[in-house]
Amino acid sequence: MELYAHFHPDERPFVDRALDWIEQASEFHTWKTTDFLDPRQAFIVESLARRDGNVQVYLYGGYPEAERKRACIAPDYAQLTDEDLPMVVLAIESDDEKIGSLDHGDYLGALLGLGIKRDKVGDIHVRPDGCHCIISGEMASYVDLHLRQVHRVHVHTEVVSLDKLQPTQTAFEELNLSVASLRLDGIVSDVVRMSRAKILAPIKAGRCKVNWRVVEDPSFALHEGDVVSLQGFGRFKIFELQGQTKTGRIRLKIGKYV
């Protein structure tokens, strides 16, 4: 199918699901509310809907700057609002002062440890005194009842409405690099401090994503604004291309997500 040429092979199962949602809305006038989508998945759904022409996609993640969003896929005449995408805030707090040492991965790991899928969890906002997690409305009671510990810190939870959300700014560790080129393998190896020879294997194995899309070509050229993730090593963003040195190397400002 020619359509698949635009997507990575690993994305084809999701493309098939999205095509089915769109066909159901277009031909049978049904509504589909998805779980939380990452930006790449949201892009796929919107691009496929535009090809159809009779379907609209409404995206919402709980607040204007949300990264992960739920989608409502419906006929183009439907009147859609935020209420069509049920989600709430799970406020996690503790009397233990160690809660200030917990990070994004600790909270996400605790939620997934309850047996729920990653798709049921939206953005996670870590604060010094706890965390606000956006979760799908249908999972709220279950998570509120069962989440009692995050990385050996005993916690208590409360389900609150989205207007109580206290979003936090993404924290970055800034790095200034000088690289020979904008090749993916070279920049990733510098950021994660691994030799270029060793970085080839995880890239070719499909463990690296650029802007949430799997990239297996080590020579792939990065650009300013790109978000790169390597499974097991976190992710970073190319903040700025800062010109060239006298020897022709490229100066970059990188932000590592912390």
CATH number at residue 46: 3.30.1370.160
Tokens representing residue 184 in the block: 């993916």
Of 195, 227, 26, 61, the closest CA to residue 134 belongs to: 61
For the entire predicted model, the pTM comes to 0.86
User: Which of 64, 84, 104 is at the close of a domain?
Assistant: 84
What secondary structure letter does DSSP report for 37?
B
Same domain, 53 and 116: no
Number of residues assigned to the chain: 258
pLDDT in the model for residue 167: 93
Say if residue 78 is in the same domain as residue 92: no
Buried b / exposed e along 30-60 (16+ C-beta atoms within 10 A): eebbbbbbbbbbbebbbebbeebeebbbbbb
Long-range contacts, stretch 99-108, CB < 8 angstroms, 24+ apart: 99/129, 99/130, 99/150, 99/153, 99/155, 100/128, 100/129, 102/126, 102/131, 102/150, 102/151, 102/153, 103/258, 106/150, 106/151, 107/131, 107/133, 107/150
Could you read off the pLDDT of 12-29 as tens digits, one per residue? 999 999 999 999 999 999
Round the CA-based radius of gyration of the chain to a whole number and report it.
20
**pLDDT tens across 122-176, in order?**
999 999 999 999 999 999 999 999 999 999 999 999 999 999 999 998 888 999 9
Q: Which of 136, 164, 192 is the last residue of a domain?
A: 164
Q: What domain count does the chain have?
A: 3
* CATH classification of the domain holding 157: 3.30.70.330
Contact yes or no for 229/213 (Cβ under 8 A): no
For position 9, what pLDDT does the model report? 86
All residue ranges of the chain with pLDDT < 70 are 1
The amino acid occupying position 106 is: D
Same domain, 216 and 231: yes
DSSP string, 64-114: TT-SSBEEEEEETT----GGGS-EEEEEEE-SSGGGGG--HHHHHHHHHTT
111 and 127 together in one domain: yes
Both 190 and 226 in a single domain? Answer: yes
Point out the domain boundary residue: 84, 114, 133. 84
Average of per-residue pLDDT values in the chain: 94
Q: How many helices (H) and strands (E) in the chain?
A: 6, 15
Whether residues 66 and 93 fall in one domain: no
| pLDDT of the residue at 142 | 97
Whether residue 150 contacts residue 236, with contact meaning beta carbons closer than 8 Å, is answered with: no
Task: State the greatest distance between any 2 C-alpha atoms of the chain, in Å, as a whole number.
Answer: 63
Q: What pLDDT does residue 6 have?
A: 79
**252, 176: one domain:** yes
Q: How high is the pLDDT of residue 1?
A: 59
pLDDT at 53: 87
- Please state, in angstroms and rounded to a whole number, the distance separating the CA atoms of residues 227 and 165: 25
Please report the pLDDT score of residue 8 as a whole number: 84
Instruction: Kindly report the number of other CB atoms within 10 A of residue 209's CB atom.
Output: 19
Within 10 Å of residue 190's Cβ, how many Cβ atoms?
Answer: 17
- Cα–Cα distance between 47 and 175 in angstroms, integer? 34
Domain ranges, residue 67:
2-84
Asked whether 73 and 31 are in contact (CB, 8 A), the reply is: yes
